[in-house]
């Protein structure tokens, strides 16, 4: 019988392939396929469902396989593990490919949106910028730690470090001076990448529409566009909010509902941007009298600051889904 589903365990050089027919019988079992032979193998197969774990290179291979008419799906690794028959103790490439093949056929399985080359390029700008920010934070902490050895305890700001430079002995002066130079270079690189993101946002009409929503700026808009595209992989805005981990976890049983903290599932970077934007909305709501600001203020007073922030972030995620999937414009609350 013809192959209807294939699971591929991705790797750097050697891949594992597992294919089944309509009855679930394994008809293609290749535990070791070289990298240069994988594309040729998939090209010879009739169009079918192909599943892969979300890992390095998954989006590249998905685009390659789609060219041959295959229906490609990418699955988060945590959703594949329960389908491994041998459990954790029997993990190997062939077992992983078999588990992926089983998981991709589940009707309720959740998949990762496949990104285009342009979308991955835009996300690369965000990733590199975030890396520079982390390096900047580490450099500031290193400066503060070294200065504390000489009796200079500084706040979490870089501006104060230069004032103590002349008071330091020879080699310490050299070390702190080099760190300050590195900090200045990182500031320049972060500002440069901020300009890149600003250019991307202004050039995309959908990003400009998203930026009309309070709490969504150029960074959040471009990151959302690059990550979810037209948002057609999500059935509704609530599903997008759940994918971003902005919904409460549940511990319900016996008809009694117990809600806990937010799940923090999905893309942590997107969630961070939405939360930061929501914090700005909550902070500014006290000075405004529009319907949204009144709702935010009342919610913060009734349920607390952080619950109001998460509620605004989840609302923005749902509005972003509606605008991207349906092409709607932002309509402020009257």
Which percentage of the chain shows pLDDT scores above 90? 70
Asked if residue 41 lies in contact with residue 97, where contact means CB atoms within 8 angstroms, the answer is no
- What is the model's pLDDT at position 85? 78
- What mean pLDDT, rounded, does the chain reach? 91
Q: Which is more confidently placed, 329 or 69?
A: 69
Give the distance between the most distant pair of CA atoms in the chain: 81
Residue 63 pLDDT > 90: yes
Q: Are 95 and 85 in contact (CB under 8 A)?
A: yes
Question: What's the confidence (pLDDT) of residue 331?
Answer: 81
Query: Tell me: the pLDDT tens digits for 122-180?
Result: 999 999 999 999 999 999 999 888 888 888 887 777 676 777 777 788 888 888 889 99
Confidence of residue 88 (pLDDT cuts 50, 70, 90): low
pLDDT at 20 over 80: yes
Separation of alpha carbons 277 and 144, rounded Å: 29
User: What are the pLDDT digits (tens) for 258-277?
Assistant: 888 998 988 899 999 999 99
Q: At what angle do helices 305-326 and 218-228 cross, to 10 degrees?
A: 60
Higher pLDDT, 333 or 249: 249
pLDDT value for 265: 87
Least confident range from 31-35, 165-169, 213-217, 279-283: namely 165-169
Task: Give the orientation angle of helix 218-228 with respect to helix 117-148, to 10 degrees.
Answer: 130
Q: What is the mean pLDDT of residues 235-243?
A: 91
Inform me whether the pLDDT recorded for 4 exceeds 80. Answer: yes
Of the listed ranges 52-61, 80-89, 100-109, 319-328, the least confidently predicted one is: 80-89
Distance from C-alpha of 299 to C-alpha of 96, rounded to nearest angstrom? 46
Among the ranges given (218-232, 251-265, 291-305), the one the predictor scored with the smallest mean pLDDT: 251-265
Predicted pLDDT at 334: 61
- Alpha-carbon distance of 3 to 25, in angstroms, equals 9
164 contacts 147 by C-beta, under 8 angstroms = yes
Q: Is 327 left (phi over 0), alpha (psi -120 to 50) or beta?
A: left
How much is the average pLDDT of 68-82? 93
Share of residues in the chain with pLDDT > 70 (%)? 97
Average pLDDT over residues 246-250: 91
Q: Whose CA is closest to 19, among 10, 35, 31?
A: 31
Distance CA 83, CA 53 (A): 13
What mean pLDDT is predicted for residues 239-254? 90
Q: Is 234 within 8 Å of 240 (Cβ atoms)?
A: yes
Over residues 48-66, the mean pLDDT reads 95
Write down the pLDDT at residue 250. 87
Q: What is the mean pLDDT of residues 202-214?
A: 94
CB 139 within 8 A of CB 182: yes
pLDDT at 86 over 80: no
**Which band of pLDDT confidence, cut at 50, 70 and 90, is reported for residue 66?**
very high
- Residue 1 pLDDT > 80: no
- Stretch 295-316: mean pLDDT, rounded? 95
């Amino acid at each position: 019988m013809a192959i209807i589903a294939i699971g591929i365990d991705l790797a750097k050089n050697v891949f594992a392939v597992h294919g089944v027919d309509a009855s679930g019988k394994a008809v293609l079992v290749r535990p070791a396929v070289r990298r240069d032979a994988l594309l040729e193998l998939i090209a010879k197969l009739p169009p079918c469902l192909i599943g892969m774990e979300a890992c390095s290179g998954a989006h590249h291979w998905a685009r390659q396989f789609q060219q041959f008419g295959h229906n490609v799906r990418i699955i988060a690794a945590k959703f594949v593990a329960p389908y491994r028959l041998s459990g954790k103790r029997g993990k190997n490439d062939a077992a992983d490919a078999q588990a992926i093949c089983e998981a991709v056929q589940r009707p309720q399985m959740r998949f990762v949106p496949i990104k285009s080359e342009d979308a991955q390029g835009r996300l690369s700008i965000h990733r590199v910028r975030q890396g520079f920010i982390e390096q900047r934070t580490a450099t500031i902490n290193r400066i503060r730690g070294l200065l504390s050895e000489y009796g200079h305890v500084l706040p979490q700001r870089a501006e104060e470090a230069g004032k103590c430079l002349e008071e330091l002995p020879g080699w310490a002066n050299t070390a702190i001076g080099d760190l300050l130079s590195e900090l200045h270079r990182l500031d320049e690189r972060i500002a440069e990448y901020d300009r890149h993101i600003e250019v991307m946002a202004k050039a995309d009409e959908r990003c400009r529409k998203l930026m009309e929503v309070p709490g969504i700026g150029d960074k959040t808009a471009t990151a959302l566009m690059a990550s979810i595209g037209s948002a057609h992989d999500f059935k509704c805005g609530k599903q997008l909010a759940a994918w971003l981990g902005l919904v409460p976890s549940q511990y319900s049983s016996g008809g009694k509902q117990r809600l806990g903290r937010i799940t923090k599932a999905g893309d942590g970077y997107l969630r961070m941007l939405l939360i930061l934007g929501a914090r700005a909305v909550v902070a500014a709501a006290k000075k405004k009298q529009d319907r949204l600001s009144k709702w935010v203020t009342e919610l913060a007073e009734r349920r607390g600051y952080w619950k109001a922030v998460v509620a605004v972030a989840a609302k923005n995620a749902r509005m972003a889904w509606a605008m991207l999937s349906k092409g709607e414009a932002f309509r402020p609350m009257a």
